[in-house]
Amino acid sequence: MEFPSKAIEEAVNELAGLPGIGRKTALRLALHILKQREEEAEQLGHAIINLRKNVKYCTRCHNLSDNDLCNICTNPRRNEKILCVVEDMKDVIALESTHQFTGLYHILGGLINPLQGIGPSMLNVESMLGRVRDEGVEEVIFAFSANIEGDTTTFYLQKKLAPMKVRMSSIARGVPVGTDLEFTDEITLARSLINRTPLGNVGE
């Protein structure tokens, strides 16, 4: 691709460096930016620069934050006795949008993945153990993706936490709500049988 202008060439090269954006998409985005008002392009540009410059990480749970402690950790209405351990910030956003969890989070920053060379020492494991030890945590919930990395990480943390006599659980694996049983894969179905939910007596 040859560009008629240096400015557009640089913008396309930079945009094409983002994940999932090829050169044709980058060109489409650049042409869209050209059609906007100058203030709008500046807002976008500054938002990207400020993002990297201003974002901090919460010193307690490792979530993104504007200050030393994030909004969730400083919220007095959250239950400090329940700790939900997740892979990254996207999982916190997903769980928060359910409005079902009122405890605190701890972000590992990844999952144990020997194939990609990610071991426990590269994750925020020590700080999690410290929190369980020192902050009076009574229950730890593992909320990882349902794959080998998630299960490996759960198993590793389970062993590490065993001496601390804390209650542990994993989010349920089962048939997703709204899915037809016949289209559910056999591993999910097997797990949903093993972890079946007891139902009470109705109409007694």
Residues near its own copies (CB under 8 A): 1-8, 10-11, 13-15, 17-21, 25, 27-34, 36, 38, 40-56, 58, 63-66, 70-72, 88-90, 92-93, 96-97
For residue 121, what are its two tokens? Answer: 């020492």
For residue 163, what are its two tokens? Answer: 């001496």
Q: To the nearest whole angstrom, how small is the minimum distance from the Cβ of residue 118 to its own copies? A: 14
Q: To the nearest whole angstrom, how small is the minimum distance from the Cβ of residue 83 to its own copies? A: 16
Compare residues 53 and 165 and give the one whose CB is closer to its own copies. Answer: 53
Hey, which residues does 105 pair with through a beta bridge? 84
Q: To the nearest whole angstrom, how small is the minimum distance from the Cβ of residue 62 to its own copies? A: 11
From 124, 94, 93, 90, select the one nearest 107 (Cα to Cα): 124
Q: To the nearest whole angstrom, how small is the minimum distance from the Cβ of residue 174 to its own copies? A: 24
Residue for token digits 């659980």?
A: 169
d(CA 45, CA 43): 6
For residue 165, what are its two tokens? Answer: 């006599």
Coil, strand or helix at 84: strand
Q: To the nearest whole angstrom, how small is the minimum distance from the Cβ of residue 1 to its own copies? A: 6
Compare residues 29 and 189 and give the one whose CB is closer to its own copies. Answer: 29
For residue 18, what are its two tokens? Answer: 């983002």
Compare residues 48 and 164 and give the one whose CB is closer to its own copies. Answer: 48
Compare residues 102 and 169 and give the one whose CB is closer to its own copies. Answer: 102
Q: To the nearest whole angstrom, how small is the minimum distance from the Cβ of residue 152 to its own copies? A: 23
Compare residues 36 and 179 and give the one whose CB is closer to its own copies. Answer: 36
Instruction: Label residues 66-92 b or e (16+ Cβ within 10 Å = b).
Output: eeebbebbeeeebeeebbbbbbebebb
Amino acid code (one letter) for 24:
K
Compare residues 52 and 165 and give the one whose CB is closer to its own copies. Answer: 52
